[in-house]
A and B are shown apart, each in its own frame.
Chain A
Amino acid sequence: MTSDNPLAEKTAERVAPPAVLVIFGASGDLTSRKLMPAVERLALRRLLPASFSIVGVARTEMDDAEFLQRMMKTVLDVRSEDEAEGGGGGDVRHVWDAFSGGFRYVAGDYGAPDTFVRLREVLEELDRERGTAGNRLYYLATPPDTFPTVVQGLAAQGLNRPSSDDGFVRIVIEKPYGRDGKSAADLDRVVHEAFDEWQVYRIDHYLGKETVQNVLALRFANAIFEPLWNRRYVNHVQITVAESLGVGHRGSFYERAGALRDIVQNHVMQVLALTLMEPPATFDANGIRDEKVKALRAVDVLTPEEVPFEVVRGQYRKGWVEGQEVRSYREEDGVDPHSTTETYIAMRLRVDNWRWAGVPIYVRTGKYLPKRVTEVAMEFNRVPHLPFAADQAEGLDPDALVLRVQPDEGITLRFGAKVPGQTFRVRSVSMDFFYGAAFLEETPEAYERLLLDALLGDQTLFIRSDEVAQAWRIVDPVLEAFEEGHVPLARYEAGTWGPEEADELLRRDGRGWRRP
């Protein structure tokens, strides 16, 4: 093995090693909107080596030069004006000049062996010409039904294994990872026939968000929060992932997915795991992922009888959102006029472990809710005895700690304080820490961070096989109950916080949803 680079400084950001990024689905939306802008920004930050090369693979016919031109144009379209000013035109030009020698395109069907034969030839040529040393990062930015075909195509040409002990071959797989537990396990089997788990990077861009990572910093870098982070002090937890948009042009995709698969199985489960996990012994990939898996394993699976009582599914009707009248889900393009696909989920989960037993975890997500917000709120138990008269503490709510993931990333602590004046009255006040007020500095985009991590071989922010399995274990019984029609579909007006049934879910516990 190659020893460490003595010139690399520990505190500095690491430059990715020489490698070829092979993007399957190179002519698609994800590549132009997310991946290529991320690559450009990494290059602008000097985090890509001179030999870094990109091979696009897709069905669309074009040559290397056209692919390069197309990518340059799409990135230019995506780049916001202020980024262009900040980045400096000259610097952007130099970046693309440097890329031009290492940009290749392979047109072909993913099911045709010839596509992978030509890909191998191109990769070998890049190794010779640019010293990429056999290092490859495959990125599957294709529809999920092509994942097995691409994986098998790579393996058939021996492109799944490094050519030397020092080299690496890794594969990044986009969500959704399966449609249910069984299909995820089937996909895993195919992937593991070709790649070892240490080569597989299952991506959920939520984990690349700075503020999701800040949940770990808040919990494990501060002595004042963690002692309260358990059943003794926490009354219940509310996790909200709200979107103020509808399904837009993704109607036909959404019809097959629904909120449960689109948001709960991945984003919500990841935020849940980071919130509930035990402190890891080490802050490396397996240290953190082991604890996340343990947390997910402790979540009780709902029985078929429990699902209708613990889960609310909803679908938006027409309404008003942010001053605009919007149509109902069933009127959206690509959506069945009689669709029963859910655009809203609320559920109550139980966690059976020492830390969280008896603390309900309420989760909700939906489209066309009043605002876009993702947050984790811990509401604490009330004090055992209030030494004031009831009317003196009328405005006093239980203490709460809220971790806001987006927007207005930060932390809010709600606690009681005396109202100024001659009389003694107590009311709740909020103390806000805005992440952006202490650090206005621009943080890396999620894809930028995750792409660099994959090139550097850091799997911490990627989802391990057993995490996927655990998330499906929790979601599968709910999906089955939906499919068997055991959970009625509640309709809610677009622009509201969801159906009345979701309020009832908490009301019967003597609680209510927060207004984020």
Chain B
Amino acid sequence: MTQPISSTIGTWEADNVSIGDVERALSGLRRHEQRAAVRASVLTLVAVTNSQAEADLVRGIVHDLGVRHPSRTLVVVLEKGETEAAANQGTGVDAALWVHALEQDGRAVCFEEVRLLVRGPARFHLDSIVGPFALPDVPLVVWLPASLPSPGDPLLDVADRLVVDSRAADEVGGDVLARAAVLARRLPVTDLSWIRMAPWRSLLAGLFEGSVNRPFLDGVDRVQVTGNAGPRLLLGGWLLRRLGLAPARVELKPAAHLSVRIDATDLHGRSGSFSVARAGAERVITSTVDIEDGPHLEQLLQMQERWPVLALAGALTNVGHDEPYEEALAGARELRGAA
């Protein structure tokens, strides 16, 4: 299978336009381009960004994503005025449209991208702007790359799923995981920070497959998770709940990169140590098994370079609530309460 070739087959741009104008322009672009007659869409993706730079970053990711999840994408840029008063003066929308085609092995997939720069009070009523662009019968996913919405945000009324990144939002401060837990009660939430640690989780789970290592999970003595505040709390919370441990057995320590180690004893009294660690700047994860009088094994895994795209693609594959994540959030809360 060859790599898909991407091309832009139609564009349109205008300032201070109505949503109706944008919709008509979008239909026009598709009507006048034969390749756009067949549109493949599995979802409507709405990315809400706070700056042009952030929007450009998002556009790059979304474009790469087209291969896996062709979708109608809205990148909304919230324009902040110099002052609160300036920001709230005069609602206006500037719009730009692109129709892209991805061609691969003689097949073409067409998808649309809408960029909306929103000014004024309309910024607080994005549901009314996004709603008309929602494709029928496919889920509408709202993605906030660097923040968390308030639970009362009207945009959540039109969303079937919310994608956030608790690690990126964490830099703003506050108890991000607790807020994520509140949001997860309202609608399915995907946290890219959680998706990003999928290799740690699956490698760790893999270490306990089979009859030799599995019994060690019944005798866990200590779990140590190191890393940034949010990720280590999330991973620690997941292990706390999945293994039914007391919070005192889970130790969290700060570090530049995420690592986890489980020390345990099996029914025969043998001690074993199981770890999944990223040691340094090199994008390599090492999983290790070290059992007393038993095998010592090490496996290295190169981390994916294109994680933002892959993490988002992974997130969009899910439907419904991410139960292990919600369990991890509950565990994180328990750990924080015990600290």
* Interface residues of A, Cβ cutoff 8 Å to B: 2-3, 5-9, 11-19, 46, 49-51, 80, 82, 85, 88, 90-91, 94, 97-98, 101, 128-131, 133, 135, 164, 166-167, 408, 434, 436-442
Contact status B300-A98, CB under 8 Å: yes
- Which residues on B sit within 8 Å (CB–CB) of A437? 38, 40, 70, 107-109
Given contacts A46-B203, A49-B210, whether A440 and B104 have CB atoms under 8 Å apart is: yes
B304 contact set on A, CB distance < 8 A: 88
Residues of chain B contacted by A18 (CB below 8 angstroms): 209-210, 212-213
A438 in contact with B40 (CB, 8 Å): yes
User: Is the CB of B4 closer than 8 A to any CB of chain A?
Assistant: yes
Closest residue on chain B to residue A134 by CB atoms: B211
26 contacts between A and B (CB under 8 A): A2-B211, A5-B214, A7-B201, A8-B205, A9-B324, A14-B209, A18-B209, A19-B210, A46-B203, A49-B209, A50-B297, A51-B295, A91-B302, A94-B299, A101-B297, A129-B295, A130-B297, A131-B291, A133-B211, A408-B107, A434-B107, A436-B105, A436-B107, A437-B109, A440-B104, A441-B68
**In the A-B complex, the 6 residue pairs with the closest CB atoms:** A166-B211, A91-B302, A15-B206, A50-B299, A7-B205, A131-B295
Q: What distance in Å separates the Cβ of A468 from its nearest Cβ neighbour in chain B?
A: 31
Give the residue among B70, B104, B207 with the most A Cβ atoms within 10 A: B207
CA distance A233 to B50 in the complex (A): 57
User: Measured between C-beta atoms, what is the minimum distance from A458 to chain B in Å?
Assistant: 14
Question: CB-CB < 8 A to B211: which residues of A?
Answer: 2, 133, 164, 166-167
Q: How far is the CB of B2 from chain A (nearest CB, A)?
A: 6
Number of interface residues of B (CB under 8 A): 54
Contacts of B38 in A (CB 8 A): 437
Asked whether B205 lies within 8 Å of A5 as measured between CB atoms, the reply is yes
Min Cβ gap B165→A in Å is 20
Chain B residue, CB-CB nearest to A129: B295
**Is there contact, CB below 8 Å, between A88 and B299?**
no
A82 contacts which of B3, B102, B108 (Cβ < 8 Å)?
B3
Contacts of A5 in B (CB 8 A): 205, 208-209, 214, 217
**A interface, by DSSP: helix, strand, loop or mixed?**
loop
Contacts of A80 in B (CB 8 A): 1
Pick the contact of B202: A15, A17, A128, A131 (CB < 8 A).
Answer: A15
CA–CA, A174 and B211, complex, Å = 29
Q: Complex formed: what's the CA distance from A408 to B324 in Å?
A: 37
In the complex, whether B204 has a CB less than 8 A from a CB of chain A is yes
What residues of A have a CB within 8 angstroms of the CB of B291 in the complex?
131
Q: What is the CB-to-nearest-CB distance from B243 to chain A, in angstroms, rounded to a whole number?
A: 6
Closest A residue to B313 by CB, please name it.
A441
Chain A contacts of B203 at CB under 8 A?
46
Assess whether B305 is in contact with A88, with CB atoms less than 8 Å apart. yes
Which single member of A17, A129, A434, A440 contacts B209 (CB below 8 Å)?
A17
A2 touches B201 (CB 8 A): no
Verify if B81 is at the interface (C-beta below 8 Å from A): no
Answer yes or no: B284 CB below 8 A from chain A CBs: yes
Q: Provide the bound-state CA to CA distance between A442 and B214, in Å.
A: 33
Residues of B within 8 A of A8 (CB): 205, 209
- With a 10 A CB-CB cut-off, give which of B70, B204, B209, B302 has the most chain A CB atoms: B209
**Residue of A94, A167, A440 with most chain B CB atoms under a 10 A cut-off:** A440
> Nearest chain-B residue to A98 (Cβ)?
B299
**Residue B31 CB within 8 A of the other chain:** no
Which of B4, B198, B217, B299 is within 8 Å of A7, CB to CB?
Answer: B217
Chain A residue at smallest Cβ distance from B325: A9
CB pair A91–B214 under 8 Å, yes or no, is no
Contact between B302 and A94 (Cβ–Cβ < 8 Å)?
yes
- The answer to the question of B287 belonging to the interface, with a C-beta cut-off of 8 Å to chain A, is yes
Residues of A within 8 A of B284 (CB): 90, 94
Q: Which residues of B contact A12 (CB under 8 A)?
A: 198, 201-202, 205
Which among B40, B108, B201, B202 has the highest number of chain A CB atoms within 10 Å? B202
Q: What's the Cα separation between A175 and B80 when bound, in Å?
A: 67
Give the residue of A2, A15, A16, A131 whose beta carbon is less than 8 angstroms from that of B289. A131
Q: Shortest distance in angstroms between B269's beta carbon and chain A's nearest beta carbon?
A: 17
In the complex, the answer to whether B4 meets A440 with C-beta atoms within 8 Å is yes
A439 CA / B294 CA spacing, docked (Å)? 45
Q: In the docked arrangement, what's the CA distance between A167 and B212, Å?
A: 10
Known: A85-B3, A164-B211. 8 other contacts (CB 8 A): A6-B217, A7-B217, A7-B239, A7-B242, A12-B205, A49-B210, A50-B206, A133-B211
Q: Closest approach, in angstroms, between the C-beta of A58 and any C-beta of chain B?
A: 27
| CB of A443, distance to nearest CB on chain B (Å) | 10
Q: Is the CB of B210 within 8 A of A17?
A: yes
Chain A residues positioned under 8 Å from B210 (CB to CB): 2, 17-19, 49, 51, 131, 133, 135, 166
Known A-B contacts A7-B217, A46-B206; A90 and B302 likewise in contact (beta carbons under 8 Å): yes
* Interface residue? B67 (CB, 8 A): yes
CB <8 Å contact, B109 and A133? no
In the complex, which residues of chain B have a beta carbon less than 8 angstroms from the beta carbon of A439?
Answer: 42, 68
In the complex, what residue of chain A is closest to B242 when comparing beta carbons? A6
Interface flag for B215 (CB, 8 Å): yes
User: Chain B residues with Cβ under 8 A from A85's Cβ?
Assistant: 3
A15 B205 Cβ-Cβ under 8 A: yes
Q: Are A50 and B298 in contact (CB under 8 A)?
A: yes
The answer to the question of B57 belonging to the interface, with a C-beta cut-off of 8 Å to chain A, is no
A441 CB contacts on chain B under 8 angstroms: 67-68
B301 within 8 A of A: yes
Residues of B within 8 A of A19 (CB): 210
Q: Is B280 interfacial (CB-CB < 8 Å)?
A: no
Closest to B238 in A: A7
Complex Cα spacing A440 to B298, Å: 34
In the complex the two chains form, what is the Cα distance from A50 to B286 in whole Å?
10
A442, closest chain B residue (CB): B1
Separation of A176 and B212 alpha carbons in the complex (Å)? 36
Which chain A residue has the least Cβ–Cβ distance from B214? A2
